[in-house]
């Protein structure tokens, strides 16, 4: 079995060595320009077109949970990968726990009014504030995939009312499920904290705009953990300035790194992190990939395959 690996920043030698330990019968090599030798599987992130074009691969693994970048490249260069070759994404590989940590910590930060107390501290004001109740602090999750399910599971522990919005109905215990555009308003109008975990598709680009934000209760919060292109940043800032939104926490942006001139840097009710909410954990990724390749070789059912038409 031949496996080729390409990632512009990962330590290729470590990955090659780890994969060969996990799959003793495989020969793994870092792909380099001019390498046209046969391969059965490819592990990639932002691969050059020539790496995959014309290859008769059994499968390709994208080294991340999001596949919008490689799908965009495939749309521009359909010759890059035959439509019959399955494409897989990393389903969890430690990202679920990281998303749980991030989402829970931020919801609790707002629920306990730590943002308000920081503002009071900056003014040297000692002023206890009225507490929020859980009943008035409903959390809505847009996107009900693997990571959305993990976040909902962790927030249940804290007793917040939970709801999710997705393409298909979910039957998660303790979570109200809303489906499609026709149920979006009902989902939004009782959502105090909106968590975005949607995939990046043509249908979801720019979805968090003034029309959507206006349907949230006054004083709502937005937590974006998916993709920056989901948010119309000017609309978000306008909602913050008007008081419609009380705060926003952003991990992703339409342009990264975020330009210095962006007003998001200086807005008092915007907090941010540099796209670190959930990163690929190499050891767990190796475990998932090696397990999936073994299942594929045995003809067993697998999970994590990307639906190219849907975009995730």
Is residue 308 a part of any domain in this protein? no
Catalytic residue numbers?
A: 227, 275
Domain extent for 55: 2-93+280-298
Residue 161 has pLDDT above 90, yes or no: yes
The confidence score (pLDDT) of residue 23 equals 98
Residue 169 has pLDDT above 90, yes or no: yes
Going by the DSSP 8-state scheme, the letter that residue 63 receives in this structure is: S
The confidence score (pLDDT) of residue 66 equals 87
Residue 33 has pLDDT above 90, yes or no: yes
- What is d(CA 143, CA 33) in angstroms, rounded to the nearest whole number? 38
Is residue 154 located within the same domain as residue 245? yes
Q: How many domains does the chain have?
A: 2
**In this structure, what CATH number is given to the domain that contains residue 188?**
3.40.50.720
Helix, strand or coil, per DSSP, at residue 165? strand
Is residue 22 a part of any domain in this protein? yes
Task: Find out whether 312 and 167 touch, Cβ atoms under 8 Å.
Answer: no
Is residue 133 located within the same domain as residue 83? no
CB atoms within 10 A of CB 70: 24
Question: Quick one: average pLDDT of 89-103?
Answer: 95
Lowest mean pLDDT among 47-51, 111-115, 263-267, 308-312: 308-312
Is residue 69 located within the same domain as residue 150? no
Q: Which long-range contacts (CB under 8 A, 24 or more apart) does 298-307 make?
A: 302/88, 303/91, 304/88, 304/89, 304/90, 304/91, 305/86, 305/87, 305/88, 306/62, 306/67, 306/71, 306/86, 306/87, 306/88, 306/89
Residue 292 has pLDDT above 90, yes or no: yes
Is residue 89 located within the same domain as residue 101? no
The tokens of 109 are what? 């930060």
The tokens of 117 are what? 């107390």
Residue 65 has pLDDT above 90, yes or no: no
Question: Quick one: average pLDDT of 178-184?
Answer: 98
Is residue 311 a part of any domain in this protein? no
Is residue 137 located within the same domain as residue 232? yes
Is residue 198 a part of any domain in this protein? yes
Is residue 234 located within the same domain as residue 288? no
Going by the DSSP 8-state scheme, the letter that residue 133 receives in this structure is: P
The tokens of 48 are what? 């050059």
213-261 pLDDT per residue, tens: 999 999 999 999 999 999 999 999 999 999 999 999 999 999 999 999 9
The confidence score (pLDDT) of residue 272 equals 98
User: In the predicted model, what is the mean pLDDT of the chain?
Assistant: 97
Strand partners, 248: 222, 270
- What is d(CA 7, CA 92) in angstroms, rounded to the nearest whole number? 19
Q: How far is CA 170 from CA 1, 66, 139, 307, in A?
A: 39, 21, 16, 19
Is residue 163 located within the same domain as residue 254? yes
Is residue 86 located within the same domain as residue 100? no
The confidence score (pLDDT) of residue 239 equals 99
């Amino acid at each position: 079995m031949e496996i080729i690996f390409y990632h512009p920043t990962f330590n290729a030698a470590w990955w090659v060595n780890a994969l060969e330990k996990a799959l003793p019968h495989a020969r793994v090599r870092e792909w380099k320009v001019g390498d046209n030798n046969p391969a059965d599987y490819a592990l990639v992130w932002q691969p050059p077109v020539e790496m995959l074009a014309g290859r008769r691969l059994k499968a390709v693994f994208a080294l991340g949970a999001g596949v919008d970048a490689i799908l965009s490249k495939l749309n521009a260069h359909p010759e890059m990968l035959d439509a019959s070759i399955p494409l897989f994404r990393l389903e969890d590989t430690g990202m679920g726990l990281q998303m749980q940590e991030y989402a829970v910590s931020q919801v609790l930060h707002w629920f306990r009014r730590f943002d308000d107390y920081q503002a009071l501290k900056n003014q040297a004001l000692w002023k206890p504030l009225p507490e929020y109740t859980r009943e008035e602090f409903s959390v809505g999750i847009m996107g009900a995939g693997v990571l959305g399910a993990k976040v909902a599971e962790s927030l249940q522990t804290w007793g917040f009312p939970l709801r999710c919005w997705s393409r298909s109905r979910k039957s998660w215990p303790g979570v109200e499920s809303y489906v499609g555009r026709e149920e979006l308003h009902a989902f939004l109008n009782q959502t105090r904290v909106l968590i975005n975990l949607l995939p990046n598709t043509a249908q979801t680009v720019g979805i968090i705009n003034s029309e959507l934000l206006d349907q949230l209760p006054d004083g709502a919060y937005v937590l974006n953990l998916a993709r920056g292109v989901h948010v119309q940043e000017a609309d978000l800032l306008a909602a913050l300035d008007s008081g419609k939104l009380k705060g926003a926490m952003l991990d992703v942006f339409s342009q990264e790194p975020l330009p210095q001139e962006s007003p998001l840097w200086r807005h008092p009710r915007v907090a941010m992190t540099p796209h670190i909410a959930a990163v690929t954990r190499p050891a767990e990724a190796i475990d998932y990939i090696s397990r999936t390749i073994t299942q594929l070789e045995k003809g067993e059912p697998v999970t994590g395959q990307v639906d190219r038409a849907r975009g995730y």
